[in-house]
């Protein structure tokens, strides 16, 4: 039995009066693409941010590759191999595209020269090399998403957390996005994607984890989960909300 | 140190504190409304004081009588500054914080320069007023009358603010705009109008403070710089968004200042305030009542 | 683990890399030419008063460049840098007067002290967001001013007079000519430029600019925000203090108001704002513009009685901040040499 790469145990997160995550447990194997889905307010963002280190859990544990990382800050998590993208793209607008990626690749390369070379390679990988010298703020929206991805990849992550990267894309752009995610997995990176756009996510991921009202209500292959009556009920609103 | 002496010190500190609170309230109002710190706030105070000085010279009336006029003028001044200058700061996309700091700063420098050019750096004072130079006796303790008047004015002003925010439509619009400036336009509230009024009222409060201070304090071009730090400390201590925080913090600042003057020496009185301020921001960065 | 193989079109990669390195080299060539030019200037301009303005201008170039290391690269706007200036000034003079320590060492000690103060302040104040931080810096400088005004041993309000001696490079005292001072401060300005240039090309430069643009995003990419700010702050304070030490020797007399006063903090920050925060040439451009204008309006237009220089400074700052917050250097768009890396 393989040891999972990521083990999330019994994560609970309370905000004033609201329990956003309630005893959430899941595990992800190395090399998997896992989709994290659920209706609005399910607690996906909260869980995502807890795994990324941006939010501390009220209780529970996160273990990466056998190490307990629950107390680590985002920079520390990045160093041990967890990278994330932001839902609303946060680029370094005073710098150009290459420099944006260099900031990230400097985590793994000592010399700026090496970091720059790697950055340019990564830009080619995400098909953004033509815009290398453009100011980050001047990119189009899909290009910004690819920049986010490039930056995250530059930190050589074991685990990549993608936050709604497919939202608002045209079908062509979405198709390119799917190809890109597959290529990233091809590098050996494990991926967790929070998504809303079902048609894109379901064919892409190996496994799906469904959250609703702070709990995991289903987990398994996309084909299984999609026919699960609990999941259907959650999305169609056939239950009482507080 | 007799009981009466201590009481005198504390009461004087309390009075000045209330006046500091009034001075800081406008700053707090503007920041709470639109996230802009007016680094020219001290110069607004100076403008109000010179305005009062000029009016007393021209009309020969007492400052207390002229106060409403100064307040109204400062209201218009503040609204004008917003519409003419600050409105464009809000449009800046990048580095908004930095733009804000330096635009308001530059404005302060210009105002100071104008005052120095028109009035010269000489210290002025308003002579012969109804309350100036007199004291009132309270349980055997002598308190300077102008400061007593100032403190009372301040208390009334805060009451009015409380009423305005909780009871009037404008108050509600203020709160709404504060919460979500983008959304309010969707419900028909003109964001620019609210902001202009906010600057107007904030400046009116400073005008009120300046009118009283002009009775007992010297008037000179850099007088704003002398008071601005107290105002900032008061606002930061109370929490940048909380107007009531400014009230509590002002009183604390006044008391600390007065106590330091007695415990150490008057020359070092501001050190006590600075020390308290630094201690608070280290242990409670958002101030005593602040929300962010 | 994983490797991203170099694409077939790696010529594009190396082309860009070469261009970037060339750009860096060009900047060095430019500064060498500028330095050579500046070295010749006092041989041409011999009027004492003009030389005085030159020295002051170059002093503020180095001060503002130092400020820029914190304000421009880490985004922490300090309006209290006078505290480091004053520490440098007083340390240099006091070590000399009390301990007989030659100013070169005194300046260095003062700078080291300023660096430590910066680290201590940073430790407590970097958690403060934006405006809170700026106000805290103002408070600290004011507190230093009040302290020194009342510190009898350090001269209190009367200040300290640097003891007169014969002209000597050892004590950095020159009674008759301004030239040695000029060359010293030119070297200082060049040093601060060089430090900035080195930072820009190094990891710190990238990280600090990232922190300035979006601290949280930088953190998620592994950048230690706190350590970046601390390092930037210490370096900034160090060079500011050396400037203070130089100033003390240049004018031979210091008092609290003239070295800890708010006007110093302002004059240190304004050139960077005007010229371009976070750029390599911005502070220099800003200082060359502001300082001579300030001196001219102060002296020619009716003395310090009028507030003309204030109006001029204020208006310039407002215009630049509103219309061109990236600073005046961004106007030299087509001339790539004058920009920082792809600004």
Residue B110 in domain: yes
What pLDDT, on the 0 to 100 scale, is given for residue B210?
94
Q: Is residue B127 part of a domain?
A: no
pLDDT for the residue C341: 42
Q: State whether residue C342 sits within 8 Å of chain A by CB.
A: yes
B291 lies in a domain? no
Q: How much is the mean pLDDT over chain C?
A: 85
pLDDT digits (tens, 9 = 90+) for B15-71: 999 999 999 988 888 887 777 888 999 999 999 999 999 999 999 888 888 999 999
Name the residue of chain C whose CA is nearest to B222's CA. C307
Find where tokens 């300077």 sit. Answer: B144
Residue B61: φ, ψ to 5°: -85, 165
B95 falls in which pLDDT band (50, 70, 90)? Answer: low
- Check if the beta carbon of residue A194 is closer than 8 Å to that of residue A163: yes
Asked whether the predicted pLDDT for residue C5 surpasses 60, the reply is no
pLDDT in tens, chain A (242 residues): 467 889 888 888 988 788 888 889 999 999 999 999 988 888 888 999 999 999 899 999 999 988 899 999 999 999 999 999 998 889 998 889 999 999 999 999 988 888 999 999 999 999 998 888 888 888 998 899 999 999 999 999 999 999 988 888 888 888 888 999 999 999 989 999 998 878 888 888 999 999 988 889 889 998 888 888 888 888 776 555 44
C341 forms beta bridges with none
Q: Which of residues 207-246 of C touch B (CB under 8 A)?
A: none
* Domain count across chain B: 1
For residue A199, what pLDDT is reported?
A: 81
Which structural domain, as residue segments, surrounds residue B277?
A: 3-121+144-283
Question: If you average pLDDT over residues C100-126, what whole number do you get?
Answer: 91
Look at C219 and A92 and tell me if their CB atoms are within 8 Å.
no
Average pLDDT over residues C34-39: 90
CA distance C227 to A151: 21
Buried b (16+ CB within 10 A) or exposed e, A41-78: ebbbbbbbbbbbbbbebeebebbbeeeebbebbbbebb
Kindly report the nearest CA distance between residue C272 and chain A, in angstroms.
Answer: 16
Alpha-carbon C274 to chain mean position? 13
What subunits touch chain C, counting only 3 or more CB pairs under 8 A? A, B
Q: Which residues of chain C have a CB within 8 Å of the CB of B99?
A: 321-322, 325
CB B62 within 8 A of CB B215: no
Distance CA B115, CA B221 (A): 6
- CB contact, 8 Å: B58 with chain A? no
Q: How many CB atoms lie within 10 A of CB B119?
A: 16
The pLDDT assigned to C2 comes to 47
pLDDT tens by residue, B28-40: 888 877 778 889 9
Size of chain C in residues: 343
**pLDDT exceeds 90 at position C59:** yes
Residues in chain C within 8 Å Cβ distance of A122: 4
A96 Cβ under 8 Å from any chain C Cβ:
yes
C64: confidence class by pLDDT, cuts 50, 70, 90:
very high
Q: List alpha helices for B60-190, DSSP H.
A: 63-81, 87-89, 96-119, 145-167, 169-179, 181-184
Map tokens 């310039």 to a residue: C316
Beta-carbon contacts of residue C70 (< 8 Å; ≥ 6 apart): C76, C78, C229, C232, C233, C236
Quote the tokens at residue C81: 């840098």
Q: Note whether A189 contacts C225, CB cutoff 8 Å.
A: no
In this prediction, residues C275-297 reach a mean pLDDT of 87
CA distances from C202 to A110, A156, C25, C32, C205 (A): 10, 20, 14, 20, 6
Q: Could you tell me which of C3, C200, C95, C296 has the C-alpha nearest to residue A156?
A: C3
The total number of residues written for chain B in this structure: 292
Q: Which of B26-35, B247-256, C269-278 has the lowest mean pLDDT?
A: B26-35
Cα–Cα dist A192/A181, whole Å? 11
> Do residue A103 and residue C221 have CB atoms under 8 angstroms apart?
yes
CATH number, domain with residue B231: 1.10.3470
Whole-number pLDDT of residue B290: 66
Helix/strand/coil for A68: strand
- Per the domain annotation, does B32 fall within a domain? yes
- CA separation for the pair C240, B194 (Å, rounded): 43
Inspect the interface and report whether the beta carbons of C142 and B229 lie closer than 8 Å. Answer: yes
Q: Which of B93, B110, B245, B276 to mutate to test the interface with C (most CBs of C within 10 A)?
A: B110
Torsion of CA B30, B35, B41, B44, to 10 degrees: -50
Task: Report the residue of chain B nearest A137, measured CA to CA.
Answer: B94
User: Which residues 6+ apart lie within 8 Å of A167 measured at CB?
Assistant: A87, A195, A196, A197
Chain C nearest-CA distance from B79, in A, is: 18
Residue-level pLDDT at B188: 67
Asked if C311 and B92 come within 8 Å (Cβ–Cβ), the reply is: no
Question: What is the largest distance, in Å, between two alpha-carbon atoms of chain A?
Answer: 58
Interface predicted TM-score (ipTM): 0.86
Q: Which two tokens stand for residue C78?
A: 């300090």
**A with C: how many residue pairs have Cβ under 8 Å apart?**
128
Per the prediction, chain B carries an average pLDDT of 85
The domain segmentation of chain A, as residue ranges, is 1-81+157-242, 92-156
How many percent of chain B have pLDDT more than 90? 35
What pLDDT is attached to residue C92? 93
Quote the pLDDT of residue C302: 47
Token pair 């309390």: residue: B14
CA distance B201 to chain A (A): 34
Mean pLDDT of B107-129: 88
Residues 35-64 of chain A with CB under 8 A from chain C are 52, 54
Write down the CATH number for the domain with range A1-81+157-242: 3.40.50.300
A112 with C214: Cβ contact below 8 A: no
pLDDT digits (tens, 9 = 90+) for B272-292: 999 988 888 778 777 777 654
The more confidently predicted of residues A18 and C107 is C107
DSSP letters spanning C257-306: HHHHSHHHHHHHHHHHHHH-TT-SSHHHHHHHHHHHHHHHHHHHTTGGGS
- Residues of chain C in contact with residue B37, where contact means CB-CB under 8 angstroms, are 131, 135
Q: Is the pLDDT of residue C334 over 60?
A: no
Confidence label for C172 from pLDDT (cuts 50, 70 and 90): confident
Q: A39: which 2 tokens? A: 């209706």
Domains in chain C (CATH in brackets) are: 27-338 (1.10.3470)
- Looking at residue B265, what DSSP letter applies? -
Nearest neighbour of A155 by CB, restricted to C206, C210, C221: C221
């Amino acid at each position: 039995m393989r040891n999972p790469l990521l083990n999330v145990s019994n994560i609970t997160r309370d905000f004033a009066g609201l329990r956003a995550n309630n005893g959430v447990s899941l595990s992800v194997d190395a090399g998997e693409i896992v989709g994290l889905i659920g209706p609005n307010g399910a607690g996906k963002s909260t869980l995502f941010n807890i795994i990324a280190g941006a939010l501390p859990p009220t209780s529970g544990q996160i273990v990466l590759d056998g190490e307990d990382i629950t107390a680590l800050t985002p920079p520390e998590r990045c160093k041990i191999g967890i990278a994330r993208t932001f839902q609303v793209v946060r680029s370094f607008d005073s710098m150009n595209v290459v420099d944006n990626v260099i900031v990230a690749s400097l985590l793994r390369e000592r010399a700026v020269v090496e970091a720059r070379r790697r950055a340019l390679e990564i830009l080619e990988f995400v098909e953004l090399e033509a815009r290398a010298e453009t100011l980050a703020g001047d990119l189009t929206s899909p290009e910004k998403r690819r920049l986010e991805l490039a930056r995250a990849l530059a930190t050589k992550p074991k685990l990549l957390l993608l936050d709604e990267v497919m939202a608002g894309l045209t079908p062509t752009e979405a198709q390119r996005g799917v190809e890109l995610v597959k290529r990233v997995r091809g590098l050996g990176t494990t991926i967790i994607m929070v998504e809303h756009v079902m048609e894109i996510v379901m064919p892409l991921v190996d496994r799906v984890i469904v959250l609703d009202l702070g709990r995991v209500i289903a987990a398994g292959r996309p084909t299984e989960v999609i026919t699960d009556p609990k999941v259907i009920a959650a999305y169609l609103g056939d239950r009482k909300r507080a | 140190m007799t009981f009466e002496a201590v009481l005198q010190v504390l009461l004087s500190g309390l009075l000045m504190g209330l006046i500091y609170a009034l001075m800081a309230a406008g700053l707090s109002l503007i920041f709470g409304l639109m996230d802009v710190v007016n680094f020219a706030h001290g110069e607004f105070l100076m403008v109000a004081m010179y305005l009062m000085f000029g009016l007393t010279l021209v009309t020969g009336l007492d400052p207390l009588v002229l106060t409403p006029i100064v307040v109204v003028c400062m209201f218009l001044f503040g609204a004008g500054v917003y519409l003419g200058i600050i409105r464009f700061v809000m449009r800046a996309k990048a580095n908004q914080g930095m733009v804000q700091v330096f635009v308001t700063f530059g404005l302060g420098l210009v105002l100071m320069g104008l005052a120095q050019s028109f009035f010269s750096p000489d210290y002025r004072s308003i002579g012969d007023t109804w309350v100036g130079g007199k004291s009132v006796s309270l349980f055997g303790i002598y308190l300077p009358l102008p400061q007593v008047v100032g403190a009372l004015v301040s208390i009334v002003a805060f009451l009015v603010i409380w009423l305005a925010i909780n009871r009037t439509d404008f108050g509600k619009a203020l709160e709404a705009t504060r919460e979500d400036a983008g959304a309010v336009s969707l419900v028909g509230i003109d964001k620019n109008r609210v902001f202009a009024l906010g600057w107007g009222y904030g400046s009116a409060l400073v005008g009120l403070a300046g009118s009283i201070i002009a009775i007992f304090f010297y008037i000179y071009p850099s007088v704003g710089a002398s008071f601005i730090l107290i105002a900032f400390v008061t606002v930061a201590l109370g929490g940048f968004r909380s107007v009531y925080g400014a009230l509590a913090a002002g009183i604390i600042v006044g008391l600390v200042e007065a106590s330091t003057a007695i415990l150490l020496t008057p020359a070092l009185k501001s050190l006590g305030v600075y020390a308290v301020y630094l201690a608070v921001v280290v242990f409670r960065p958002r101030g005593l009542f602040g929300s962010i | 683990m994983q490797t991203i193989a170099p694409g077939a079109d790696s010529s594009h990669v190396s082309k860009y890399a070469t261009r970037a390195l060339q750009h860096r080299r060009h900047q060095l060539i430019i500064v060498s030419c500028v330095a050579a030019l500046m070295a010749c200037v006092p041989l041409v301009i011999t009027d004492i008063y003009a030389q005085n303005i030159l020295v002051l201008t170059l002093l503020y170039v180095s001060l503002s460049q130092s400020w820029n290391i914190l304000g421009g690269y880490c985004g922490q706007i300090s309006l209290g840098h006078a505290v480091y200036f004053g520490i440098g000034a007083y340390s240099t003079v006091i070590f000399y007067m009390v301990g007989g320590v030659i100013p070169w060492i005194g300046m260095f000690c003062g700078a080291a002290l300023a660096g430590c103060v910066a680290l201590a302040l940073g430790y407590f104040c970097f958690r403060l967001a934006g405006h809170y931080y700026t106000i805290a810096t103002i408070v600290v400088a004011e507190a230093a001013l009040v302290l020194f005004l009342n510190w009898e041993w350090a001269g209190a309000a009367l200040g300290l007079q640097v003891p007169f001696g014969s002209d000597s490079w050892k004590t950095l005292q020159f009674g008759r000519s301004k030239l040695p001072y000029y060359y010293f401060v030119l070297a200082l300005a060049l040093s601060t430029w060089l430090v900035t240039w080195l930072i820009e090309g190094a990891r710190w430069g990238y990280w600090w600019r990232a922190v300035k643009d979006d601290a949280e995003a930088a953190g998620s990419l592994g950048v230690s925000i706190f350590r970046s700010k601390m390092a930037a702050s210490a370096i900034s304070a160090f060079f500011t203090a050396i400037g203070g030490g130089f100033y003390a020797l240049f004018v031979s007399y210091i008092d609290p108001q003239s070295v800890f006063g708010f006007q110093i903090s302002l004059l240190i920050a304004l050139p960077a704002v005007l010229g371009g925060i976070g750029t390599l040439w911005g502070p220099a451009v800003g200082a060359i513009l502001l300082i001579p204008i300030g001196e001219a309006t102060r002296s020619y237009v009716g003395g310090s009685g009028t507030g003309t220089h204030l109006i001029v400074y204020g208006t310039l700052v407002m215009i630049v901040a509103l219309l061109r917050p990236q600073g005046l250097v961004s106007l030299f768009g087509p001339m790539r040499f004058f920009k920082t890396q792809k600004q």
